[in-house]
Amino acid sequence: MYRRKVFYYETDQMGIVHHSNYIRWFEEARIDYMEQLGLGYDKMEEQGIISPVLSVEASYLRMLHFGDSVKIEAWVKEYNGIKLTVGYEIVSERTDKVHCRGVSRHCFLERTGRPLALKQSCPEFHGLFMKALEAHKKAKK
């Protein structure tokens, strides 16, 4: 679980968090989550693996304001060895209500841009992603 506070510069003229910041927060939470799994981007890049974003979706349910504190949960929603989908929920720490839900989709490439199948190229990372996917499936039941 990643936690953060809403900063003034993240709000618009109405004092509401600008929608683009939720996408940034997804990325912050994803990086934190991957580090917790032992899959930090630094480790991946050391092995010549890059993971670009293919798409991002967000559903804005409630407004957040300057000074609000949120917790952001990230999890492996889908993974097939070639593509990864990460799910997100942004929840107010004060009310415990969900303010935003979303997903980001990623693939894995060599530095040259050639697609990678982690199962063959990096079994350690593949195993960690599979373990995270299974843990999320069990938690949903």
Q: Which of 12, 32, 42, 96 is catalytic?
A: 12
Q: Is 32 a catalytic residue?
A: no
Angle between helices 19-37 and 123-140 (to 10 degrees): 110
Listing DSSP states for the chain in one string gives -EEEE--GGGB-TTSBB-HHHHHHHHHHHHHHHHHHHT--HHHHHHTTEE--EEEEEEEE-S--BTT-EEEEEEEEEEE-SSEEEEEEEEEETTT--EEEEEEEEEE-EETTS-B--HHHH-HHHHHHHHHHHHHHHHHH-
Residue type, 16: I
Provide the annotated active-site residues. 12
